[in-house]
Structure formats: structure tokens, C-alpha cells
Structure 1
Amino acid sequence: FVRKILVENAGGPAILDEYKEHGKLTDSARRHLVNIVVAHITDKEGCVPSKETKTRCAWGVVPLFPSLKDPYSRTGYEHFYDPKSNQGYISWRLKTVSRQSKHHGGHHSKKDARASGTSDSEGSGGPTAYRETCNHLELQLEGDQCKKAISFMNHCAEKDLIFEKMKATFKHRQLLIHDAAKSNTVLSVFPRFLDTKGLILQDFDVQFGTETASRLLEQWDSLKPKIIAEARTLTSTLHLTDLLSDAQGNSQDEGSDWQGWDSDMSSILLLAYLLPPSPGARNKSTKIRFREAMDHIVQFHK
């Protein structure tokens, strides 16, 4: 598979010849090899190829270039692509290609955002930034039909119908989010977010795609202990101690007014202590303490 890709693309035969002559590849040749492979799979599947395709490419490199095998890994090709962590040369190159693609199309996206009446943040990200949805939405309700669907959901007890109507009103919800005067009404207009598990994940999946939506979960088991370990090195405060206790799954003292989060959510909140403030923050923005910021977080009770 990889040999065929190299033979059919410019620069590929030279890489094969170099290995045949020297029995190894230079770093620049290895990078060129990855670039050719990634260019091929993005041409076939876009910037988000399947995990199977990436694994197949990584697996195909080692038999073709045995000196590139990693003797310390389980299969020998994880440094090209590790399906468990979604890391490796192939993943890193795909991210670079994706960033370059977004950069070249950035002006067009912002222009479209202004034309459609949606707002774009002064920065390049955040909840108010304009983004194209990764998944195609066949049916989106508007006007009276949208209002009827929202009213129906608020009184519906069937979970499947709630999910169906929520997906059909996704674009209306995005308009609310991008409207500064209405963004704080999302949970009152769509209260089923508060009592129906999975709706937030569905919206995230529609917006960013399945692979992106599942990426944090795929890496969470290895990431969570690192977050807790780093948080332990910080200057201790009562609130930080409570979060650490929850993150480690320890029960709270009875009588405490701290409601507590589950272990995973507490670990995510610990990131707020670890991540430095953005250097691009606007001077006019009001700074509040982390504990005060948490008062604005919606806590879902199971």
C-alpha cells in the first residue's frame, strides 16, 4: 500500500532508492515520506481520514523500511501512528495540513460569517467564532416549524424524539449562541439540555465531527492522572483541595457546603488552575476569580 503510494507520487521513487542504497532514511527523507503519504490520504478522504486508514499507512511503512521500526513499542509503528493515543508523525502532519487549510480559507469564512449575520470573535476561536459544521444536516426547521418543535420537545418524554428535534433545530441554536443579546437564553429555550444526557455531545458531534468529539475521551485515561499530579504542585487553597479530593474520587466531608463534582469533571476544572491566562485578552474584559467563574457553570445532576 505505502510502496504503491510512493511509486505513484513525485519524490517517492527517490525515497525508495535512498533506502535501497543506504539501508536507512535521513530525517528529511522520513519527513518527505510522511508528507507524501498524508497528501495521498487527504486527497482520498480529506483532512480527517479514518483511523483504519492511518493505521494501515503506519503499519505499511515498517515492512517497507525496517530501519524505521521502533524496537521499544509493541508493534513497531506507533511512532508513525498510534490508534490508542491518536498521535504520531501521520497525525501531526494531518494537523499541520488542517491548520494550513483553515488559514488559507480564513478570510472567506469570516466574510461569509458577516454576510450571514453571525458574529465572529475578535480572536480566532471561542464559542462565538464562526465555524462550518462537520456533519451535513439534511433537515433544519425554521420559523413556526422551529417554534413548534421546541415546544414539542419541552413536553416530550420520548428520548429518541427529543434527539431528533434537537438535531433539527441545531442551526437555530447556533443563531442564539452567536447573538450577544440572546446567547444567555439557550438553556431556557432548550431546557432539555439539563435533563437529557447526550444532547450536548450530539451538538458537539454535529459541529466538530465524530473523531474530534471522541478525541478527549480516547486520551482521557492517560491525561487525567497527569492533570491531578500537576495540580498537587500548586499552592494549596480550600477550593483547590476540594477539587483535588473530588478528582481522586474521595468523598466530601458531611456538612460541607461544597456540592462537589464527579471525578472527571473535577479533573477538567483543575485545568483552569494549570492553564495560564491568554496573552491576547482584551483590556476591557473584567477579570474574576476562578471560584466566582465556577458559579456560572451549569451543574448537571444525575
Structure 2
Amino acid sequence: MLLKVKYFSVKKYIKLHSGFTFLELITEVKSKFGLSDAAQLEIFDETDTAVDEDILLELLEAHPDLCLTVRERISDEDFSPLAHSTPSSPDTHSSLTDTMSLSSSDSDLRDQGIPTGRSRSSKEDMGSSTGKVSVSEAAKEMVENALLRKPGGEDILEEYKSENSLSHRTRRQLVNILASDMTERHGRIPSRQQREKYALGIITLFPSLKDPFSPKGYINQDFLLLFGAETSSKLLEKWDTSLKPKVIKEAKHLTPSTVVCRLLKAAEKLTENEENDWDSDMASLMLLLHLLPPTAGRKRRIKISPSDAEHKMVHFHKSGCSIDEHLRGLEGKQPYILAVGRVQNRIDTFYIAVDKQLIPCQATCSLSAFDELFKSHYVFNLSYDESLVHLYTFVQTTIFNIDVTSTDESLHVRELRAKILNEN
């Protein structure tokens, strides 16, 4: 029998015997389209519904003229898909160790005594290289084709060709075009696998956009593709000019404890060279935590103080002390910032610590590090720490405007949003 199959924009007929198996179809597709034997394929019908092995023949009998769409599945350990979930869901996904691979900066991390996760043997690397090339090239072709189809896409390709880089404005345009293409192809909530393939395509087509400090080169691109450039930039654009002054103003109505008074002075930069204080941005974020304090939850019946919850958000680690020992003594998988420096108000390096692993931040300041911390919940599909759920929910809905109508918010979150947004 003849079967029509589509791979990207190319359609071909495949000849199979009656009663063929799913494996025989996959083998013939790889041969027909020149795909690697290591490639793992998924099959979809014309409504973009996944077609499983057990219903394939029955579906073709009912729709003999059906054109099947074939896509590659990212399946090696560096690009293993995780099921999509919102960070506010109660379940935390299993260990992230297998989703992180050694980055180009691993030797630097080892020199500092920082654990980098499990290593891979040279045989493993050689065995997986063919599959990775195939996945990368397919992702690159997908992104390039999307740009060629969309208005403004060719201009982006030309700018990169001439400048070997993209301006901030062009990069935002690139992400918006690809986010639109992904939504058209995969629906409003694309899977992590689909988002990762677009992100991989970006850094393969535009190598200078690859982040050398992240394990895969695109942690932030993953968030960009999920929510778009405009949403992704909201915290950094709004905090200093609009939100921070209002948070400080509201915090002045808190009970004037020693901790709150110290944070207010640091946030307003009223102290000089206080080595044990945080910088202005981090101090103001901690004031936001005091405005939205933890409450007793399902897992924890005893309410903890905002000061105790601060350590769930950021840890200061003095340069020269053992980071490995710090990580071994911690429990839980929710991410937090590990700020490494000689003194607390002048941090040299920021990391996202998650599941006892460290990811170097691209950020050079505390606000950008917090921006990456919040986004890491979406990138790794993690629930919010119970102590910080009100803080993160406020950031999610009020600042990033993500899932505002569908997220369960506390009364404190809604009241603070009303105060801050209605304030002149």
C-alpha cells in the first residue's frame, strides 16, 4: 500500500506491504527522508494528534488518504523532555541531574571545587554524537524555514550574516516570530520538547546567541519561547523605575523590626559599606517577601518567619569556603540563588542551585539573578517552595502577567497588587 508522509515541508509516498508494523514504517521513513538510524520519531495525524503504535493501522483503514506528519523526538540525555506543568502545581518533578550536561565552563567550576554532576565517558559521547547532530540540524532547518515564511524573518537572517550578531530589538523580533510559529504549529501551550527544539534551533542557526554559561546554551531562550520577549523582560524593565519604590513605600508600614529596618536602609542606600547587608535590589526583594510572608501550608503546619524564608531564596557564600560542603548539607529540590563573594553587598558570581547542582548565572547583578531564579521554575518545571509561594505568585501574576485568571492567589497577593498598581 502507498502511504503519504510529511517531514517538515516535504511530502513523500512510502510503499509498505499490507499489515506492516509500526517499526517498519519508522524504518522506511528514515530511509526515505535520509534520517539517521539514531533518530527517534513521532507520528501525528492532520489535526496534530499523536498517533500511537496500537491504533496506527486502524486509523489508516478509516482514513486511507491521511497524510501522516513525522517529527523527531529529542531523546538523548541532554535534551530529555519533561511534561509541562505550571510552577504552582503541588508536585515537584523528579531529580534534575539527568537533564543537565557538563557545560563548557565545567573545568572552571571544578577549579573552584564546585560539583558539576555526573560525567560521561568518551564512548558515550561518541555514541550519541550522531544523534545530536541530526537533532541540531533538524531544529536549525525548522527555525530557518519559519523565518523565511514570516515577514521580517529574512531581515533577521541578513543582519546576522553581516554582523555575526543580533541587536536587542532584532532578537526580540526573532523570538516573537518563532513563538508565533510554534503556537500555530503546536497550540497555545507547546510541550517542553517542542520549546527545547526551537531553542536548540536558535543557537544552532545563530551560534553567537548561545549562552556559554548555561548547560545547554539556552535556559533563558526556553522561557522566551514560552512567553515571548515582551513578557520575559518585564521584571528587569519594571523593577527599578516602577515597582521597587512602591515596595519600599509599602514596607515602611510594616512592624519596624531590626531586620525590616536594616533592609529598608539597604534598599534606600542609606548605609555605606555595610558588608553584611545585601545590595539595594536584593534588599528590596526581601522587603517584598516581608510584605508577602509565608503561611502554614499542607506540608508545614508551623508558620516560618520571612527572615527564615529568605534563605529559601538566596544564600550568601563567602569566597574560598567549600561550596561542596554547603550543597551536601541541603535538602529539597526547589531552586535558590547562591551568591558567592568576599562580602555580602558585593557579589562576584551568582549561581542557581537546584537539586544539589549549580548552574552559573548569566547575571552580574542580584536583580538579574532573581529574574533567572524565577524563570528556572518554568524551565525545569518545578513547583514553588512553599515558603515563597506568595512571593513567586506575586511576581508571576503581577509582574510577568502569567496565568493571572487561572492561578490560585492568596488574599495578601491580591491586596498588595491592588495597592501597588493603583498607586500614583
TM range (shorter): 0.3 to 0.5
Task: Give the helix-richer structure, 1 or 2.
Answer: 1
TM-score (structure 2 length as normaliser) = 0.26
TM-score (structure 1 length as normaliser) = 0.35
